[in-house]
Amino acid sequence: MDLDALLDCVTTSSCLVTQSTSGLIVGMLLFMVAAGLTLIFGVLKIVNFAHGTFYMLGAYLAYTVFTATGSYTLGVLAAGAGMAVFGVVFERGLISRVYGANVLMQLLICYAVVLICDDLVKIIWGADFYAMGMPPAFQVPPLFIAGGVVPPFYLLLIVVALVIGGGLGLSLGVTKLGKIVRAAAHNPDMVSALGINTTLLYSLVFAMGGALAGFAGGLAAPVRSLTPGMGFSILIESFIVTVIGGMGSIGGALIAAVVLGLIRSFGTIGFPLFTEGLMYIAMIIILVSKPSGLFGKEIV
């Protein structure tokens, strides 16, 4: 524990800005992964333990498309689109067979997919770390805000994540499709009885969740190193985010993700070895005092 260092950092503007922005980008990546996770849980009542794998595959896909074409935008779009397709295949081929089954069966299938994909990544890309590096457009000197160092790419990442998340929240709130999705989360049998194709809807939800994780992976590729196990760690953290924010709540996921990102970046200064412990303590406190999360609906 190094509370003096933490205090020093919080009271100097340069350190405060640097740590806050790095906390924010972690939070934004977490938010995009967790938003998909929470959406899938909200509608299908499935905990997608393979969601971190979507993120990992998205990052590798973005990396490959970027090195092949030189266009980072194309890489991120390919990651999103590719993972949307992967999400549908995964839902139709595997998950749809265990709807209504015990959570352990779902866990088992997801874990099998995680194991298979991790090894496929090792076979295709190798087990080594990859560093993609910044796309050429962002290889510029960093901005200095109040003495803190902020790479311009961080700002892009934060804006893009907010736009995607905001768009998702807005489309769920006001569009007809969004209403159908929310209705299906509430009562799928009734939605189905009203003549809406819930099978298609479920695939669509998985496509959206997959695309979100894929985008997150694509956005993470320049700032994170790519390894076959990178899906695991983000999975656990996005679970914490969904639980704290409330399973099924997009807004809750955003707030919880930002808080968690900040805990992570300031925690590495104050308690370098116990940052994760702090997150688990937060998770336990929330679960025990309000199991539905900060912004979730009460569990019936």
Partner 1 sequence: MGRILRDVAIAVAVVLLLALLPSVMPSKAFQDFVIRCSSMALFATSLNLLVGYTGLSSFGHGLFFGLGTYAFALLMQKTGMALPSAFVLTLIISTVTAIVVGAICIRLRLIYFAFVTLAMQMLVHSVIISWVGLTGGDQGLQGGIPRRVLFGISLESQYNLYVFAAVVLAVGLLLMRHIVNTSFGTSLRMIRDNETRAAFLGIVVWRVKLTVFVLSAIFASLGGIVMSLFVSGAYPELINWPITGDAIFAIVLGGVGSFLGPLAGTMILLLLNDVVTRQTEYYGLALGIIILAFALGLRRGLLDFITERLGGRPAGGIS
Contact set with partner 1 (CB under 8 A): 47, 94, 97-98, 102-105, 107-109, 111-116, 118-120, 122-123, 236, 239-240, 243, 247, 271, 273-274, 276-277, 280-281, 283-284, 287-288, 291, 299
Q: What amino acid occupies position 261?
A: G
Rounded CA gap, 40 and 298, in Å?
Answer: 18
* Min CB(287)–partner 1 separation in Å: 4
Rounded CA gap, 163 and 82, in Å?
Answer: 20
Q: Which is nearer to partner 1, 150 or 185 (CB)?
A: 185
Q: Which is nearer to partner 1, 118 or 216 (CB)?
A: 118
Q: Which is nearer to partner 1, 190 or 236 (CB)?
A: 236
Q: Which is nearer to partner 1, 158 or 234 (CB)?
A: 234
Q: Which is nearer to partner 1, 219 or 244 (CB)?
A: 244
**Residue tagged 């990859």 (tokens):** 130
Nearest to 25 by CA among 205, 193, 180, 219: 219
* Min CB(88)–partner 1 separation in Å: 18
Rounded CA gap, 155 and 163, in Å?
Answer: 12
* Min CB(290)–partner 1 separation in Å: 11
Nearest to 294 by CA among 248, 254, 244, 258: 244
Q: Which is nearer to partner 1, 161 or 279 (CB)?
A: 279
Nearest to 64 by CA among 113, 121, 119, 115: 121
Q: Which two tokens stand for residue 240?
A: 């914490």
* Min CB(17)–partner 1 separation in Å: 28
Q: Specify which residues 145 forms β-bridges with.
A: 148
* Min CB(243)–partner 1 separation in Å: 5
* Min CB(271)–partner 1 separation in Å: 8
Q: Which is nearer to partner 1, 235 or 258 (CB)?
A: 235
* Min CB(252)–partner 1 separation in Å: 15
Rounded CA gap, 277 and 1, in Å?
Answer: 13
Q: Which is nearer to partner 1, 135 or 248 (CB)?
A: 248
Residue 162 burial (C-beta neighbours within 10 Å; 0-12, 13-18, 19+):
middle
* Min CB(107)–partner 1 separation in Å: 7
Rounded CA gap, 261 and 241, in Å?
Answer: 10
In contact, 217 and 61? CB cutoff 8 Å: yes
3-state secondary structure 120-150: HHHHHHCCCCECCCCCHHHCCCCEEECCEEE
Rounded CA gap, 38 and 292, in Å?
Answer: 12
